[in-house]
Structure 1
Amino acid sequence: MKKFENMIIGFGKGGKTLAGVLAAAGQSVALIEKSPLMYGGTCINVACIPSKALEHSARFSQAQGGTFQERAVRYRTAIWEKRELTAALRQKNLEKAVSAGVKVILGTAAFLDDHRIRLEKADGTEEVLWGERIFINTGARPFLPPVDGLQSSRFVYTSETMMELETLPGKLVIIGGGYIGLEFASYYRNFGSDVVVLQDSDIFLPREDAEIAAAVLENLEARGIQVLRGIQVQRIRDREDGADLTVRTEYGERKLSCNAVLVATGRRPNLQELHPEAAGIELTAYGAVKTDEHLRTNVPHIWAMGDVAGGLQFTYISLDDSRIVKSQLLGDGSRTTENRGAIPYSVFLDPPLSRVGLTEAEAVKKGHAVKVARLPAAAVPKAKVLRQTNGLLKAIVDAETGQLLGAHLFCAESQELINLLKLAIDAGIPYTELRDAVYTHPTMSEALNDLFTAVT
């Protein structure tokens, strides 16, 4: 039985980063991955990187215009280019881990007890490995709701399998009005598909500021994307070239026909083959690995990082998780999930939606007296240069201290600008510093001059 000081299950961002750090410190590290198509983890293979590559290609295709057939050819090319990109990144990640001294092992892992892992290899053979410390980094998987006919349909895709579809669907129905569903709606609309989004809630983007959500919905509808709310999908039935969906609305049943169905109803922690119960590991009610602020489980020598730990499902959170664990093993242990500051995020629509901090309603609920700033994206010179004048910028400021409480940017290049505002919140910089700063021109950053001048 092979023994390692550190055994990391899952080649995701947190796992691969921690593996390199521990190997560089002279410790033995085994990095276990189920599939050679997942070297590097979810982000580079089936999520962030390939989807944003398609987003870039989709905007380029939309700008070119042309017939549906011409767009379909460009779409197929974009899929091929995306595959080349992810294959190159996989190989680079593998080479980097191996060169760092990490032992990369292929196989499906399952706990036998709190130190031993049974590894089932592709050829059917098994091996038992022992780890002094074990780190779970198995990520999350798409969730498929129990809809009649969904599992058996030939035209149903998840966010992962949709990016392998080489034929551009003339009509796409997306089940789920969350961030993933809306991103794909934006991509495929720009490629040339007719897109319908179905969501069960009556409220669009309920986590977002109401004004910003309204601006996003208006933009999507102006681009020809239908967003139907209060919809319950009853069943899916295949036909020769697509699927028919029967849905229930407040007015009764309705049938929708399409060439492809994307199910974007969230992701769940990926633990179904790992059997954490064999190691005595506690789970949350959500089915994630239960951890403390140091990402340690109830078993002292076992940690969990990334999506499987039940936190925010962003690759940069997984990266920061590796820093938290590193702080315990090689540092002073001061870094925790509680002190990493405000967490920004971006939804890659067209234009992108980015946010950090509180909404106006959340700030008021927390007892802040607030001032609010609003700026139409059309008022920003760089937005006019980019010919992306749709959108709205909004900021929430504490009326007494002048501290920035939250920022909501639905505008071109917001995914870059939001990081500056995260730093401002974490550093306690008053909004007046952002208002009076000198920015280069023409840039989207200089919109902060006008946005924070508008604080009232």
Structure 2
Amino acid sequence: MKTETYDVIVIGTGSGASVAHKCAKAGKKVAIIDCNPYGGTCQLRGCDPKKVLVGISQALDMSNRLLHKGVTEPAKLSWKDMMQFKHTFTDPTPSKNDQSLIEAGVKTFHGRAAFQSENILKVNSKLLKADKFVLANGAKPAKLSIPGEEFLIDSTAFLSLNTLPDELLLVGGGYIAFEFGHLAARMGVKVKIIHRGKMPLENFDQDMVTNLLTATRLLGIELILDTEVKAIVKENDRLVVHAEAKDKEISFMTSLAVHAAGRTADIDDMQLEKANVAYGKKGVEVNDYLQSVSNPNVYACGDVNNKGLPLTPVGAKEAIIVASNLLKGNHTEIDYGHIPSNVFTIPALAMVGLTEQLAKSQGLNYKVNYEETTGWFASKRLNEPISAYKILLDKDTNQVLGAHLLGPHAEDVINVFAVAMNGNITGDQLKKMIFSYPTNASDIVYML
């Protein structure tokens, strides 16, 4: 079998596409491989299509909240029309990305890649050899290892549903569960969320999560916590979800169940052992240059590595670092800084920096500003029933240690706090700023 030779082979067309473009522009002979349509999870199966649908559901939510306050009839949404609108974003993307790479001089392959040795991999029936490899092939739903797991649909399938069921059960208590749950509930679906822990969204401040749980229950979503799913059985056209709570067996009936219990690096069948690439539960093990700790000719960026948070802008930043280190030799270490993160529920939950739990565990000398803000103008004018903030400040320097927001435009306002933290702007300095008024950002001065 003839072997094709390249300088760089990239696996994955999310953050990996950026690496391929930069290497090709620098004169390298580059190939890129993806078993999915070109574009990556965020563009095609995650953040972007989800945000399109959430944006439309916000119109329904706002019309309901402002009913009889100027709005005479609530909005009526069509899932079919929403999905058609979503497709205007996702459908053109793969061919555009493919063509863009081809025009840049990158050889494109469609298929599943597996290593044959440290410098050779196989895709379909072809052998490809390279001096350097970049793994950027993302994540997949984590295996639950329970009977009937195959009856769960994943987030990709949910975002491609032609029609919504009458009932929906989400297994897990993270971003996907709450974002999809809020979206479906507003479309009239009876939603249950089952989470095995005592509190969902464990990486967020628990006081803020408690407020979000109140908003979630007001929406009619049933939250079943401290309950672990043990098996799923199909009976006729319905699913029976068997679970265990405090040593008691319970079961739930539903029309559709969604895997929302976390994701893991998509590397199981890549035969990384043959390439001497070390990996663990979180993904490919890399150093601060995002280089494999065991094979210096392999780099990894995005959700496939064990380094950064599984967020799109993190993968994008890592891709820049990887490309630079590939082309110039290892000279730039990754520095993530303070990364904002959001849950796109309605209201949205946003955070950057430390939670109070972490600040306490680290023994920091901090103070907390916390308040529920439903009565504030920014929430009251929209008749938003649940909103709050929590800001953690260093008692000695007044540096912002953490910011947590729940409410209208929280996903945007959190970026102001991220800029302040990354720029070492103190709470006092931030408080002196004049913000455009009246906006949600102008409330920052009252939070400090």
Partner of 1:88: 92
User: Is contact 1:59-1:187 (8 Å) kept?
Assistant: no
Could you tell me how far 1:334 is from its partner in structure 2? Answer: 4.6
Partner of 1:292: 287
Measured at CA, do residues 379 and 17 of structure 1 come closer, stay the same or move farther in structure 2, by a change above 3 Å? farther
Unpaired segments ≥5 residues, structure 2: 68-73
Matched, 1:254 2:256: no
SS for the counterpart of 1:395 is: strand
Q: For residues 64-103 of structure 1, what are the structure 2 equivalents within 5 Å?
A: 74-103=78-107
The Cα offsets for residues 48-88 of structure 1, whole Å up to 9 and x where unpaired, read as 1111112122223445679xxx9997112212322231112
Partner of 1:26: 27
What is the one-letter code of the residue matched to 1:149?
G
SS for the counterpart of 1:274 is: coil
| Distance in 2 separating the partners of 1:30 and 1:251 | 53
Matched, 1:312 2:305: no
Greater alpha carbon shift after TM alignment, 432-441 vs 234-243: 234-243
| Distance in 2 separating the partners of 1:190 and 1:334 | 49
User: Is contact 1:11-1:31 (8 Å) kept?
Assistant: yes
| Distance in 2 separating the partners of 1:189 and 1:144 | 26
The Cα offsets for residues 274-329 of structure 1, whole Å up to 9 and x where unpaired, read as 11111111112x16111111111111111111111023111111111112213323
| Distance in 1 separating the partners of 2:21 and 2:342 | 28
| Distance in 2 separating the partners of 1:214 and 1:417 | 20
SS for the counterpart of 2:290 is: coil
User: Is contact 2:352-2:417 (8 Å) kept?
Assistant: yes
| Distance in 1 separating the partners of 2:356 and 2:23 | 43
User: Is contact 2:230-2:244 (8 Å) kept?
Assistant: yes
TM-score by length of 2: 0.92
Matched, 1:367 2:369: no
User: Is contact 1:72-1:167 (8 Å) kept?
Assistant: no
Matched, 1:55 2:54: yes
Measured at CA, do residues 287 and 360 of structure 1 come closer, stay the same or move farther in structure 2, by a change above 3 Å? closer
What is the one-letter code of the residue matched to 1:294?
Y
What is the one-letter code of the residue matched to 1:394?
K
| Distance in 1 separating the partners of 2:92 and 2:260 | 27
User: Is contact 2:314-2:336 (8 Å) kept?
Assistant: no
The Cα offsets for residues 16-39 of structure 1, whole Å up to 9 and x where unpaired, read as 11111111112221111113xx21
Q: How many residues get paired?
A: 436
User: Is contact 1:270-1:308 (8 Å) kept?
Assistant: yes
Residue 205 of structure 2 is aligned with which of 204, 209, 225?
A: 209
Matched, 1:223 2:219: yes
Unpaired segments ≥5 residues, structure 1: 121-125
Matched, 1:415 2:411: yes
SS for the counterpart of 1:440 is: coil
User: Is contact 1:351-1:390 (8 Å) kept?
Assistant: yes
Matched, 1:384 2:383: no
SS for the counterpart of 2:52 is: helix
Partner of 1:321: 318
Could you tell me how far 1:113 is from its partner in structure 2? Answer: 0.9
Matched, 1:5 2:4: no
SS for the counterpart of 1:160 is: helix
User: Is contact 2:77-2:187 (8 Å) kept?
Assistant: no
| Distance in 1 separating the partners of 2:297 and 2:330 | 15
Measured at CA, do residues 420 and 111 of structure 1 come closer, stay the same or move farther in structure 2, by a change above 3 Å? same
User: Is contact 2:173-2:194 (8 Å) kept?
Assistant: yes
Residue 110 of structure 1 is aligned with which of 106, 110, 114?
A: 114
SS for the counterpart of 2:88 is: helix
User: Is contact 1:347-1:353 (8 Å) kept?
Assistant: yes
| Distance in 2 separating the partners of 1:398 and 1:410 | 22
Residue 283 of structure 1 is aligned with which of 268, 273, 279?
A: 279
| Distance in 2 separating the partners of 1:71 and 1:149 | 38
Identity %: 26
Partner of 1:353: 349
